[in-house]
């Protein structure tokens, strides 16, 4: 009798211990980074490491914005990622609708082409895009980064939206057509409103991917004031010093909004992430 009660409790404890360990390993680097960002200079370089700072020092947060044009980095990232997201969803939605719900020859080929374009390695398009942007004087401009970002954002949008469109129940179009709707009417007045929540999921994922992109941003934004956040942060170290405190503060500044975003929209993000692979 006693065993029967003890074993499930033990199982529960082991289970939660595992979950705690798993989450702990994931979260620990962030906690460490946060603690580093508020430590006095002498405690960052303490040996052995001092975990809990004796006093709170927010100087590094000022450094991030005063020593580096970090606000400009944030603005650059925001402008480029937002423009990329809006453009690729505007262009991608109608294509995704056609792929998901219209019958035409060559559909399978188109889907495969889009999927393979979404997997193009950045490095394989780098030099021609660089030459093009140079030719049109688009290096170090927002347009010059949005254009290459479309290469991965558009196929990604189309692919995810196609999956969402095809999950809508069949027969909507017939009913609408019987009511005298045109193709454009069906798309704009019926399908788009229906797919709105999914568009939001896709937009979040595309935005995060564009926000995090590194190689194109590193190559096409060579002026310091035009850098995006991922590249800007990576350029903090100089030849003479590793400003660990500044880097920690900067990464907290970048991570906190993302944590909030993830906490609020985790269901939407997961819906978007899992639709591509696990449609049964």
Partner 1 sequence: MIGKKKRYGSLEKTEGRDAWIMMAPAIIVLLVVAVYPVLRTFWLSLHEMVLTDPGSGYPFIGLKNYLEIFNDKRALTSIVFTLKFTIATVSLELLIGFTAALIMNKAFKGKGLVRAAILIPWAIPTSVSALMWKFIYNDQYGLFNDILCKLGVIDGYKAWLSTADGSFMALVITDVWKTAPYMALLILAGLQMVSEDLYEAAKIDGANVFQRFFYVTLPCVKSTVLVALLFRTLDAFRVFDLISVMTGGANGTESVSIYAYSNLMKFLDFGYGSAIAVLIFAVVFIISLLYMRVLGDQITDM
Report 226-255 residues binding partner 1 (CB under 8 A).
229-231, 233-234, 236, 244, 247-248, 251, 254-255
Rg of the chain, C-alpha, whole Å: 24
Cβ atoms of 210 and 80 within 8 Å: the answer is yes
Query: Distance (Å, rounded) from C-alpha 87 to C-alpha 209?
Result: 14
Taking the complex as a whole, the smallest distance from the CB of residue 110 to partner 1 amounts, in Å, to 7
Q: Which of 38, 154, 160, 206 binds partner 1 (CB under 8 A)?
A: 154
Q: Hey, which residues between 99 and 138 contact partner 1 (CB under 8 A)?
A: 99-100, 102-105, 107-108, 110-112, 114-117, 119-132
Query: Distance (Å, rounded) from C-alpha 86 to C-alpha 49?
Result: 45
Query: Distance (Å, rounded) from C-alpha 84 to C-alpha 228?
Result: 14
Q: Which of 29, 143, 189, 197 binds partner 1 (CB under 8 A)?
A: 29
Q: H/E/C letters for each residue in 64-120?
A: HHHCCCHHHHHHHHHHHHHHHHHHHHHHHHHHHHHHHHCCCCCHHHHHHHHHHHHCC
Side-chain-side CA neighbours of 46 within 13 Å: the count stands at: 14
| Span interacting with partner 1, options 2-10, 53-61, 193-201, 215-223, rule CB under 8 A | 215-223
Cβ atoms of 140 and 222 within 8 Å: the answer is yes
41 binds partner 1 (CB under 8 A): no
Query: Distance (Å, rounded) from C-alpha 198 to C-alpha 1?
Result: 51
Taking the complex as a whole, the smallest distance from the CB of residue 140 to partner 1 amounts, in Å, to 15
Taking the complex as a whole, the smallest distance from the CB of residue 186 to partner 1 amounts, in Å, to 8
Our CB check for partner 1 shows the closer of 18 and 62 to be 18
Q: Which of 178, 193, 196, 240 binds partner 1 (CB under 8 A)?
A: 178
3-class secondary-structure state, position 20: helix
219 binds partner 1 (CB under 8 A): yes
Taking the complex as a whole, the smallest distance from the CB of residue 120 to partner 1 amounts, in Å, to 6
Cβ atoms of 169 and 124 within 8 Å: the answer is no
Q: Hey, which residues between 44 and 103 contact partner 1 (CB under 8 A)?
A: 44-49, 91-92, 94-95, 97-100, 102-103
Cβ atoms of 142 and 76 within 8 Å: the answer is yes
208 binds partner 1 (CB under 8 A): yes
Q: Which of 69, 142, 151, 224 binds partner 1 (CB under 8 A)?
A: 151
Q: Hey, which residues between 258 and 277 contact partner 1 (CB under 8 A)?
A: 258-259, 261-263, 266, 269-270, 273-274, 276-277
User: How many residues sit close enough to partner 1 to count as binding (CB under 8 A)?
Assistant: 107
| Span interacting with partner 1, options 13-21, 62-70, 78-86, 137-145, rule CB under 8 A | 13-21
Q: Which two tokens stand for residue 1?
A: 């009798």
| Span interacting with partner 1, options 10-18, 53-61, 136-144, 192-200, rule CB under 8 A | 10-18
Q: Which two tokens stand for residue 92?
A: 């991608």
Query: Distance (Å, rounded) from C-alpha 187 to C-alpha 197?
Result: 16
Taking the complex as a whole, the smallest distance from the CB of residue 44 to partner 1 amounts, in Å, to 6
């Amino acid at each position: 009798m006693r065993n029967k009660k003890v074993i499930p409790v033990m199982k529960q404890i082991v289970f939660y211990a595992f979950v705690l360990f798993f989450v702990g390993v994931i979260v620990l680097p962030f906690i460490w980074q946060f603690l580093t960002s508020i430590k006095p200079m002498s405690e960052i370089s303490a040996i052995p490491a001092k975990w809990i700072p004796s006093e709170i020092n927010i100087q590094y947060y000022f450094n991030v914005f005063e020593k580096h044009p970090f606000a400009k980095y944030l603005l650059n990232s925001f402008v480029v990622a937002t423009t990329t997201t809006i453009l690729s969803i505007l262009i991608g939605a109608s294509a995704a609708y056609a792929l998901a719900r219209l019958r035409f020859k060559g559909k399978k080929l188109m889907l495969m082409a889009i999927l393979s374009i979404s997997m193009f390695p950045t490095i394989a398009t780098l030099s021609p895009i660089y030459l093009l942007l140079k030719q049109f004087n688009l290096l170090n401009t927002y347009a010059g980064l949005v254009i290459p970002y479309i290469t991965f954002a558009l196929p990604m949008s189309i692919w995810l939206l196609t999956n969402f469109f095809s999950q809508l129940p069949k027969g909507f179009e017939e009913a609408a057509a019987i009511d005298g709707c045109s193709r454009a009417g069906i798309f704009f007045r019926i399908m788009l409103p229906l797919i709105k929540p999914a568009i939001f999921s896709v937009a979040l994922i595309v935005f995060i991917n564009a926000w995090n992109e590194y190689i194109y941003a590193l190559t096409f934004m060579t002026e310091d004031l035009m850098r995006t956040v991922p590249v800007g942060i990576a350029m903090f170290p100089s030849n003479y010093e590793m400003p660990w405190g500044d880097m920690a503060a900067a990464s907290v500044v970048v991570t906190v909004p993302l944590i909030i975003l993830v906490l609020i929209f985790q269901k939407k993000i997961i819906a978007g992430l899992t639709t591509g692979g696990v449609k049964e």
